[in-house]
Amino acid sequence: MERAGRLAEWQARFDRWHVPALVGLVSAALAVLVSHALAMREQNQFGLLVEAGARRVRSEIRAGLDSRMHAMSILAREWQDRLLPMRGDWESDVRLILSQSPGLQSIAWIEADGERSWEYPPETILPALDLEALRAEGTALRRPVVIGPVLPPGREPRLRILAPLVESGSPRGWLAAAYTSRALFADILVNADTTYAVDVAAGDVELYRAAAAGAADRIPHAATHTALALPGGLTIQIGVGPSDEMLTAADSYLPRATLAGGLVLSVLLFLALGLRNVASQRARALEVEIAGHAHAEAEIRRLNAELEQRVLERTAELSRSNDDLQRFASFLSHELRQPLGTQMICIDLLESTAADALDEAARQHMANIRASAVKMAELISAQIALSSSTNAIAARDRVELASVVRDAISDVSPDLDAVGAKVRVGALPVVHGDARQLYQLFRNLLENAIKYRRDDVTSEIAIDSRTASGSALPDGCEILVEDNGRGFAREDAERIFEPSQRLEANGADGQGLGLAICRTIVERHGGRLCAEGRPGEGATFRIALPRDRIYQ
C-alpha cells in the first residue's frame, strides 16, 4: 500500500509538470536557434564591412606610397635637368621639402657606387646601400623603389624611397628619401576612415599601429590581414580591424534579447500550473522576512542609541583629559621654572664672586651642578611642550631601550649609591619611539623607586620585558619595573598618576609630577601604564607597548 501511494504521488507530479516542461524545452530550443541565426547573420555582415574597409585602407597606403615615389622621381629629374645644383641651392630646396612632408627625415644623393655624396640633414644611422641586392632585384635601376626597414637604436623604424637618375641607360645614382614609418603612414592614412584600426608591419618589424582593443575577442573574424608587395622587393603586412566605437555600434542586442525572451517565456510556461502553490509559499516566507526586518530595525535603533551615548561619554572624557593636560602644562611652566631659574642665578653669582676661592674639585662640582640644572631645564621644556599638545604622538625613531635605561641609571647613580640600591636590567627590546621621552620615563620610575624605598632593607630595582598576554594590546610587549619599596594600597593605583598628587612618604620630596609624566609619555607611544602596589613589599609598574611600536 505504501509503495502504491508513492507511485500515485509521483504519477500526479508527472501529470502536473510534464506538459509545461515539454513546452518550456521546445520554446527554449527555438529561442536558441533563432538567436544563433541572427548572430551569424550580423557577424557575416560585419565581416563584409570590415573587408571593404580593409580594401580601402590598402588602396590608400598603395596610393600614398606611389605618390611619394612619383614625387621623388620628379624631383630627381628636376635636379638632373639643373645639373645637380650647388650645395647652398639644394640645402634650401631640401629644407622646404622637409617642412612640407610629414615623416620625411632627410634627403641624400647616392652615387652609382653606393656612397652618399651629400645628405641633409646628415643621418649617420642609415646604412650604405646594398648595390648587389639592387642590381639583383633590377627595379631600382628603372623606377623608384621602397627599401627597408632600417631599425636605428632607440628610434622609430625608417623606410627609404630611392629614385634612380639614369643617363644613357645606366644609373648615375639615386636620390634617397628617409621616412619615419609611423609618421609616414599616419600622413597617408590621415583622411582614411577612422572607424578602423590599422596595423602595418614588415616581417617582425612594426611600422605603424592604431589599435582597437578587444576586436578579436568580441567578434570572431573581424580583423582582416593582407600583404602588399612594393617596388624594390619589400612586402608589408596590413592588418585592419574594427575600432572600439565600431564594435560597440555593431554589438547588437537583438540575438541576446531573442534568446532571453525565449528562455523567459519557457520558464513562465513551465511555472504556470504551480504558480498558486509558489505564491502561497512566498506569502508565508514574506511574513517571516517582514518580522525579521522589523526586529533588525529595532536592534539597529538600539545600537545607534548606545553608540551615540558612548560617543558623548568619550567626548566628555577627552574634554576632561585636555583640561587636565592644559592645567598640567601651566603648573610646570609657572611652578617649576621659577625655582630652577633662581638656582641658575645663584650658580652664576657663586661662580662670579667665589670662583678664585674654589679649588679644582669645587669648580668641577659647580660645573656638574650647572650641567644638571641645564639638563633639568631642557627636560621641563620638553615636558611642557608634550603636555601642551593634547594630540601629540611620539616620534617613531629606532630606540634601543637597553641604552636608554643605562643612561637613566647613570644619571641617577649618585642617588642609587647614596642609599645602596641595586638595579638589575634584563633583556629589553628595540622600539619605535622618542628616545628623550623614554629616557624621562625610566628616570622618573627609578627616582620614584628610590624615593619610596624602605629604610630597613636594601633597595632592589628590576627592569625586564616580556610578551604582552591577556591585555588590551595583544602581540605587543610589556616592560616591568619592580621594586621592593613601601608599595601602596590597591585603591591608590590610579591616584598616583594624577598631576600634583603624591602619596605621603617620610623624607620624600617632589611635587607629584613624575608618574603623571610617565603615563603621558607611554600614552604618546600608543601604550598603557598601570601600577600594582603591595603595601610594605614593593610596587610593579607595567608598561604595555603595541605591536607596531616594537622594532622588527
DSSP assignment of 336-396: IHHHHHHHHHHHHHHHHHHTTTS-HHHHHHHHHHHHHHHHHHHHHHHHHHHHH-TT-----
Structure confidence at residue 501 as a pLDDT band (50, 70, 90): low
Structure confidence at residue 484 as a pLDDT band (50, 70, 90): very high
pLDDT at 255 over 80: no
pLDDT at 511 over 60: no
pLDDT at 426 over 90: yes
Q: 478, 522 in Cβ contact below 8 A?
A: no
Model pLDDT, residue 215: 45
Q: 429, 394 in Cβ contact below 8 A?
A: no
C-alpha 34/C-alpha 92 separation (Å) is 69
Q: Which long-range contacts (CB under 8 A, 24 or more apart) does 287-290 make?
A: none
Highest mean pLDDT among 4-13, 257-266, 423-432: 423-432
Cell matching residue 447: 627616582
Model pLDDT, residue 164: 85
pLDDT cut 70: percent of the chain above it: 78
Model pLDDT, residue 357: 74
Structure confidence at residue 33 as a pLDDT band (50, 70, 90): confident
Structure confidence at residue 196 as a pLDDT band (50, 70, 90): confident
Q: 193, 184 in Cβ contact below 8 A?
A: no
Model pLDDT, residue 41: 80
pLDDT at 195 over 80: no
Model pLDDT, residue 273: 59
More confident residue, 462 or 168: 462
Cell matching residue 5: 501511494
Model pLDDT, residue 400: 94
More confident residue, 222 or 490: 490
Across 124-138, 153-167, 298-312, 358-372, least confident range: 124-138
Give which of 268, 202, 271, 267 is closest to 239, Cα–Cα. Answer: 202
Structure confidence at residue 475 as a pLDDT band (50, 70, 90): confident
C-alpha 181/C-alpha 234 separation (Å) is 13
Tell me 230's DSSP state: -
Give which of 147, 176, 173, 152 is closest to 162, Cα–Cα. Answer: 176
pLDDT at 315 over 70: yes
Cell matching residue 431: 622600539
Phi-psi region of 369 (alpha: psi -120 to 50; beta: other; left: phi over 0): alpha
Highest mean pLDDT among 137-151, 180-194, 325-339, 474-488: 474-488
Identity of residue 527: G
Sorted by sequence, the CB contacts under 8 Å of residue 155 that are 6+ apart come out as 125, 180
Sorted by sequence, the CB contacts under 8 Å of residue 228 that are 6+ apart come out as 58, 61, 62, 235, 236, 237, 238
DSSP assignment of 452-495: T--TTS--EEEEEEEE--SSSSTT-EEEEEEE-S----GGGTTG
Model pLDDT, residue 449: 92
Query: Mean per-residue pLDDT for 374-381?
Result: 71
Cell matching residue 25: 524545452
Model pLDDT, residue 460: 94
Report pLDDT digits (tens) over 64-117. Answer: 989 988 888 888 887 777 766 666 677 787 888 888 888 888 888 888 777 777
Phi and psi at 504, nearest 5°, equal -65, 130
Report pLDDT digits (tens) over 266-279. Answer: 777 667 656 655 46
Structure confidence at residue 424 as a pLDDT band (50, 70, 90): very high
Phi and psi at 254, nearest 5°, equal -60, -50
Model pLDDT, residue 282: 65
Tell me: cis bond preceding 171? Omega within 30 of 0 counts. Answer: no
Phi and psi at 509, nearest 5°, equal -105, -170
Cell matching residue 414: 649618585
Model pLDDT, residue 218: 41
More confident residue, 438 or 152: 438
Structure confidence at residue 543 as a pLDDT band (50, 70, 90): very high
Per CATH, 14-245+255-273 and 393-549 having the same topology is answered no
User: What 3-state class would DSSP assign to 283?
Assistant: helix
More confident residue, 207 or 358: 207
Structure confidence at residue 532 as a pLDDT band (50, 70, 90): very high
Phi-psi region of 548 (alpha: psi -120 to 50; beta: other; left: phi over 0): alpha
Cell matching residue 118: 651629400
Structure confidence at residue 530 as a pLDDT band (50, 70, 90): very high
Q: 199, 226 in Cβ contact below 8 A?
A: no
Model pLDDT, residue 383: 63
* Mean of pLDDT over the chain: 79
pLDDT at 31 over 90: no
More confident residue, 255 or 493: 493
More confident residue, 94 or 180: 180
Structure confidence at residue 118 as a pLDDT band (50, 70, 90): confident
C-alpha 134/C-alpha 234 separation (Å) is 12
Burial class from Cβ neighbours inside 10 Å (0-12, 13-18, 19+) for residue 332 reads buried
Q: Where are the domains of the chain?
A: 14-245+255-273, 393-549
Strands 235-242, 224-229: parallel, antiparallel or unpaired by DSSP?
antiparallel
Q: 193, 56 in Cβ contact below 8 A?
A: yes
Identity of residue 18: H
CATH class, 14-245+255-273 region: alpha beta
pLDDT at 364 over 80: yes
Model pLDDT, residue 233: 80
Burial class from Cβ neighbours inside 10 Å (0-12, 13-18, 19+) for residue 373 reads middle
Rounded to the nearest 10 degrees, the angle between the axes of helix 401-411 and helix 435-451 is 50
**3-state percent helix, strand, coil for the chain, nearest multiple of 5:** 55, 20, 25
Model pLDDT, residue 221: 45
Model pLDDT, residue 540: 94
Model pLDDT, residue 512: 57
Model pLDDT, residue 85: 62
Give which of 477, 495, 486 is closest to 531, Cα–Cα. Answer: 495
Taking the alpha carbons at both ends of the chain, their separation in whole angstroms is 77
Sorted by sequence, the CB contacts under 8 Å of residue 339 that are 6+ apart come out as none
Q: For domain 393-549, give the CATH superfamily.
A: Histidine kinase-like ATPase, C-terminal domain (3.30.565.10)
270-to-35, 261, 277, 279 alpha-carbon distances in Å: 21, 14, 14, 15
User: What 3-state class would DSSP assign to 20?
Assistant: helix
